[in-house]
Amino acid sequence: MKEEKQPERMLSADYQKTLADLRLKVSQMAKQKDRPLLYHITTYGCLMNEHDSEKLRGILETIGYQPAAKEDEADIVLYNTCAIRDGAEQKVYGRLGYLKTVKRRRPEMLIALCGCMTQQKIVLDKLQKTYRHVDIIFGTHNIYMFAELLMACLETGEQIIDIWDKHQEIVEDLPIIRDNPYKASVNIMYGCNNFCSFCIVPYVRGRERSRPSADVVAEVRELVAQGVVEIMLLGQNVNSYGHGLEEDINFTGLLRKLEEIDGLKRLRFMTSHPKDLSDELIEFIGISQKLCPQFHLPMQSGSNKVLKEMNRHYSQEHFMELVAKLRKARPDIAISTDIIVGFPGETEEDFAQTLEVAEKAEFDMAYTFIYSPRTGTRAAAREDKIPDEVSKERFGRLLKVVNQNIHKKSVALLDTIQPVLAEGIGENGKIRGRLNNNHLIHFDGDASLLGKIVDVKIVKARTFYLMGELVNHG
């Protein structure tokens, strides 16, 4: 961490010039075509990737591209990929196969690929061998270079590949087009040092590094000034925020600073690693006025043997203790989790413990996954793989248990009145919003409510969403 360069605060003059040159080039191309140039971005994976796509969109719109209604019509098609499980990668290969036929029809269409998949050598080899119609390939450490790479591709007409094996600098102040005007994601750290034995993230996102708190605070202030009321702080392990920074600060210290920002109404964060969840943070959750009563605490497995082999550094007992402490500090807290089924060597007894802990913890939401071996990770080298049929059968049993709990938690909200941030209008014409505890809700209302926190009475409870009625607003 020490040897990494200090973060660069402002966009360099060179970068500004590249953007200006590209703007000119794009406007010339648009003139030739007699229509604006169009882009289409598809994002896979986590909120981190969604947020990176907001930056990519910011770059594209800054240089003059406009969003395409359909991918087939776009002049540049960009895939921001995820490598967390094989399924996520197969989807992208499928799309690239389809785009080959589109490109035969429209050879001038550019295809760009970035994100976590491209950081793996095995993927890069495959792309270079079988997917030569992809024009630009870049990684997670240089997304801010997208403008330069696009320029090089437009000028030379050659395939451009630029993957860095580690991060160089944190570039601040990139142009950015956010998905939602009322809630925004803010990175507080990048990368991960934990090397859970199943996980590809440390290999594709590099070592952990935190943003200086002044930069985070400045970004949140700016967003609030623009009308944002809810902020989601992003990091693979927010509880280790601050390590390696020159200032003496930890995650709770950062939250205390953000709590003071006038106009900010709701604060959330993701993800917390149980091994680093401190009593200090739990105490702060109990007294904070802005932190939402919601906590994502990935459990992964309920078996101590499996947790050890996953390199998670906590036990089932410690995990349950954390759940109890969180509920004590904030009785209305909704706790969500991630669970993996079919990790190598997982016995029926191990799985039974996962089921038992999942039931006892009474999760408000649970994201469940079948273990997917990732080349290069420690667990992938193991020979005691669990047969697919066994994993699938266990997965079904787990889903039943967690969904029953989720449904129970939804039903418990019936007839209560809850503050809801009206975030958007759904396809059904209803307002879509989120409770403080992050439950999704739909209710009748008009566009004047958007961006406001309004009282809604819960009238119907489905497993994954609620229906409500507006109580009052003003």
CA gap 82, 404 in Å, rounded: 29
Phi, psi (degrees; rounded to nearest 5) at 255: -60, -40
Among the listed residues 26, 83, 310, 422, the single contact to ligand F3S using CB under 6 A:
83
Q: Are 136 and 76 in contact (CB under 8 A)?
A: no
Q: Are 155 and 24 in contact (CB under 8 A)?
A: no
Spatial strand order of the sheet with 183-187 comes to 183-187, 230-234, 266-270
Question: Which does residue 49 bind out of ligand SAH, ligand SF4, ligand F3S, none, counting CB within 5 to 8 angstroms by kind?
Answer: ligand F3S
Query: Which DSSP helix (H) or strand (E) runs through 392?
Result: helix 388-412
Question: Which does residue 119 bind out of ligand SAH, ligand SF4, ligand F3S, none, counting CB within 5 to 8 angstroms by kind?
Answer: none
Rounded to a whole number of angstroms, the minimum distance from the CB of residue 359 to ligand SF4 is 23
Residues lying near ligand SF4 in the complex (CB under 6 A):
192, 194-196, 199, 201-202, 236-237, 273
Q: What distances in angstroms separate CA 173 from CA 15, 64, 234, 245, one per listed residue?
A: 11, 18, 17, 19
CA gap 139, 45 in Å, rounded: 14
Residue numbers 40-69 binding ligand F3S by CB under 6 A = 45-46, 48-49
Strand pairing of 431-435 and 417-425? antiparallel
Cβ neighbours for 458, distance < 8 A, ≥ 6 positions apart: 413, 414, 415, 416, 417, 418, 441, 466, 467, 468
Question: Which does residue 204 bind out of ligand SF4, ligand SAH, ligand F3S, none, counting CB within 5 to 8 angstroms by kind?
Answer: ligand F3S
Question: Which does residue 195 bind out of ligand SF4, ligand F3S, ligand SAH, none, counting CB within 5 to 8 angstroms by kind?
Answer: ligand SF4
Tell me if 82 contacts ligand F3S by CB under 6 A: yes
Residue 202 one-letter amino acid = P
Rounded to a whole number of angstroms, the minimum distance from the CB of residue 310 to ligand F3S is 16
Cβ neighbours for 280, distance < 8 A, ≥ 6 positions apart: 250, 252
Tell me if 298 contacts ligand SAH by CB under 6 A: yes
Site string for ligand F3S, 116-155 (x = CB under 6 A): x---------------------------------------
Tell me if 241 contacts ligand SAH by CB under 6 A: no
Question: Which does residue 39 bind out of ligand SF4, ligand F3S, ligand SAH, none, counting CB within 5 to 8 angstroms by kind?
Answer: none
Chain residues in the site for ligand SAH (CB under 6 A): 84-85, 198-199, 201, 236-237, 271, 273, 298, 300, 338, 340, 369, 371-372, 374
Residues at the contact surface with ligand F3S, assessed by CB under 6 A: 45-46, 48-49, 82-84, 116, 200-201, 204-205
